[in-house]
C-alpha cells in the first residue's frame, strides 16, 4: 500500500465522523520527539483538506512550538512545576536506557526499564491532570465542539479527553511494551507460540524453549503494566469520570488504531478491521542534498553509504561510547553520515562525516541508493 493511499485512507476514516461530510474540528493529544514528527504529518494533511486542528501542549513541551507560523491552533496549558524541565527528564531517561542498563542480565535490565517507564507514566499523568482538572480550559474545549480526538496511545490522556468531551477518538501508535495496550484495549491476540513479544528480541523461528521464554516475557509485561502502571491510571480515570472504570476500558473505545509501520515488517498475527498500517506517512519526495554532502555521498562509489542516527531523542553520548562507535564505523568500506552533536570522537575515521542535523528522507531516497 503506497504512502499516498495510506494518507487518503486515514483521511477517509477521520472524515466519516465529521457532520454531513463538511470540514471537521480535530483535537490532538500528542507526545514528543519522533511521535510528534509523525503525528504532525497527519495534521498537515488534515489542514490541507480544510479541517481545523487544535493541539494541546504544555509550557514544558520540547519540540512542539506554539509560536510557529503553522495553521495549527495551539492550546497551551501550564506544566506542573516538577515537569518544567521536561527535556532534562527525557534526556535522563534515554541516557539510562541506552548507557546505564546492563543488557546481559534479564531481571536487572527490565527492572531498570520498568523504572524509567514508571517515571514517564507519572510525568504524563501530571500533565494530564493539569488539563482535565483545569475547569476554565475544559469549558473552552467543550465550547469548541470538537468532532474527534487524535491521540498518541503511548501518552495516555487523549482517550480521557474524548470521554469527557463525548466525542470519538483515533489512536496513532507504533507499539507498547509487550503489546499490552493493543491486547487489553484494542482486543488483539498475540499467541506466544508463534508471535514474538515486542522487546523480547526473539524471531519468528522459535524453538520450544524460545516459545517458553516468549510466554514468560508476555506474562512479565502483563504483570508489569498491571502492578506499576495501570492501577494508578485506573484510580485517576475513575476519580475524574466520577465512576469506577479502567484505563483499558476507556482506551478500548478507540474507533481506529493507526499503526506506524508496514505489514511487511511485522510478524504475521491476527488483526482486527479497525487496525490499519500507515507506515511511511512522514516520507516525502527527496530533495537535492547540500552540495558538500552530495559530493561526499557520491565519493563512496559502488560501496554505497551508511546513514547512522539514534533517532530524534538521542543527539549526544559519553565520549567513550562515541569513540567505540566511531572506531567501528571506520572499519567499513562505506561512507558514513552520522547525526551527532557531541565532541568529535578522536577515533573518527576518514570515511565518516558528523552532522548536527541530516536530511534523512533525502539521504535514503531509493533512486540515490540505486
**Residue 279: per-residue pLDDT:** 85
Indicate if the pLDDT at residue 317 is higher than 60. Answer: yes
Residue 67 DSSP label: T
Distance CA 344, CA 326 (A): 9
pLDDT in tens, 328-367: 999 999 999 999 888 899 999 999 999 988 888 888 775 5
Cell numbers linked to 183:
491486547
Residues 113-123 have a mean pLDDT of 81
Which of the four pLDDT bands, split at 50, 70 and 90, describes residue 20? very low
367: DSSP letter? H
CA separation for the pair 207, 18 (Å, rounded):
49
What integer is the mean pLDDT of 72-84?
78
Element holding 209 (H helix, E strand)? helix 208-225
Indicate if the pLDDT at residue 199 is higher than 70: yes
**pLDDT tens per residue across span 232-247:** 899 999 999 999 999 9
Pick the more confident residue, 152 or 283.
Answer: 152
More confident residue, 135 or 286: 135
Spatial separation of the C-alpha atoms in residues 157 and 143, rounded to whole Å = 19
d(CA 206, CA 213): 10
* Residue 245 grid cell: 472504570
Q: Which residues, including other chains, have CB under 8 Å from residue 300's CB and lie 6 or more apart?
A: 334, 335
What confidence score (pLDDT) does residue 240 get?
95
- Position 105 scores a pLDDT of 64
- pLDDT tens digits, 217-271: 888 888 876 655 788 899 999 999 999 999 999 999 999 999 998 888 888 888 8
* Residue 12, pLDDT score: 46
The answer to whether residues 243 and 264 touch, using CB atoms and an 8 Å cutoff, is no
Kindly state the helix (H) or strand (E) to which residue 222 belongs, with its residue range. helix 208-225
pLDDT of residue 1: 41
Which pLDDT value is given to residue 165? 96
Q: What is the pLDDT of residue 238?
A: 96
Bridge partners (DSSP) of residue 75 are 56
Q: 103 falls in which pLDDT band (50, 70, 90)?
A: low
Instruction: Give CA 358 to chain center in angstroms.
Output: 20
In CATH, the number for domain 291-369 is 3.40.50.2000
The yes-or-no answer to whether 3-277 and 291-369 have a common fold is yes
Q: Choose the weakest-confidence range: 31-45, 82-96, 284-298, 338-352.
A: 82-96
Q: Got the DSSP string for 126-179? A: HHHHHHHT-HHHHHHHHHHT-SEEEEETTSTTHHHHHHHHT--EEEEES--GGG
**pLDDT bracket for residue 163 (50, 70, 90):** very high
Q: Is the pLDDT at 136 greater than 80, yes or no?
A: yes
pTM: 0.80
| Fold for the domain defined by 3-277 | Rossmann fold (3.40.50)
- Range 296-300 average pLDDT: 88
Across the chain, mean pLDDT equals 83
Q: Where along the chain do its domains lie?
A: 3-277, 291-369
Strand segments (E) across the chain = 25-29, 52-58, 73-77, 148-152, 169-173, 256-259, 275-277, 305-308, 335-339, 352-355
Instruction: Kindly tell me if the per-residue pLDDT of 90 is higher than 70.
Output: no
Contact status, residue 260 vs residue 279, Cβ threshold 8 Å: yes
The pLDDT assigned to 9 comes to 46
Amino acid at each position: 500500500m503506497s504512502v499516498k493511499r495510506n494518507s487518503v485512507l486515514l483521511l477517509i476514516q477521520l472524515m466519516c465522523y465529521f457532520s454531513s461530510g463538511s470540514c471537521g474540528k480535530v483535537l490532538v493529544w500528542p507526545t514528543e520527539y519522533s511521535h510528534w514528527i509523525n503525528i504532525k504529518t497527519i495534521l498537515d494533511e488534515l489542514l490541507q483538506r480544510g479541517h481545523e486542528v487544535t493541539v494541546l501542549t504544555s509550557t514544558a513541551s520540547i519540540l512542539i512550538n506554539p509560536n510557529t507560523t503553522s495553521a495549527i491552533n495551539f492550546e497551551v496549558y501550564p506544566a506542573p512545576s516538577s515537569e518544567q524541565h521536561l527535556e532534562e527528564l527525557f534526556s535522563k531517561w534515554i541516557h539510562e536506557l541506552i548507557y546505564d542498563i546492563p543488557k546481559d542480565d534479564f531481571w536487572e535490565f527490565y527492572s531498570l526499564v520498568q523504572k524509567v517507564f514508571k517515571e514517564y507514566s507519572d510525568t504524563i499523568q501530571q500533565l494530564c491532570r493539569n488539563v482535565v482538572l483545569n475547569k476554565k480550559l475544559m469549558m473552552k474545549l467543550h465550547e469548541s465542539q470538537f468532532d474527534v480526538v487524535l491521540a498518541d496511545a503511548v501518552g495516555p490522556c487523549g482517550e480521557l479527553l474524548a470521554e469527557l468531551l463525548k466525542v470519538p477518538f483515533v489512536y496513532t501508535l507504533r507499539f507498547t511494551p509487550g503489546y499490552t495496550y493493543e491486547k487489553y484495549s484494542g482486543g488483539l491476540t498475540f499467541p506466544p507460540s508463534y508471535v514474538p513479544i515486542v522487546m523480547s528480541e526473539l524471531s519468528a523461528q522459535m524453538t520450544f524453549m524460545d516459545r517458553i521464554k516468549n510466554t514468560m516475557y508476555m506474562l512479565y509485561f502483563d504483570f508489569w503494566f498491571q502492578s506499576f502502571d495501570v492501577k494508578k491510571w485506573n484510580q485517576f480515570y475513575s476519580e475524574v469520570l466520577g465512576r469506577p472504570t479502567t484505563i483499558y476500558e476507556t482506551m478500548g473505545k478507540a474507533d481506529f488504531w493507526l499503526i506506524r509501520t508496514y505489514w511487511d515488517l511485522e510478524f504475521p498475527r491476527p488483526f482486527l478491521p479497525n487496525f490499519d498500517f500507515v507506515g511511511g506517512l512522514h516520507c516525502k519526495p527527496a530533495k537535492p542534498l547540500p552540495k558538500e554532502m552530495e559530493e561526499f555521498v557520491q565519493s563512496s562509489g559502488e560501496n554505497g553509504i551508511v546513514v547512522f542516527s539514534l533517532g530524534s531523542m538521542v543527539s549526544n553520548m559519553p565520549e567513550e561510547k562515541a569513540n567505540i562507535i566511531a572506531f567501528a564505523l571506520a572499519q567499513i568500506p562505506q561512507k558514513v553520515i552520522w547525526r551527532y552533536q557531541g565532541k568529535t570522537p578522536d577515533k573518527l575515521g576518514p570515511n565518516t562525516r558528523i552532522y548536527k542535523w541530516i536530511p534523512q528522507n533525502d539521504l535514503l531516497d531509493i533512486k540515490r541508493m540505486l
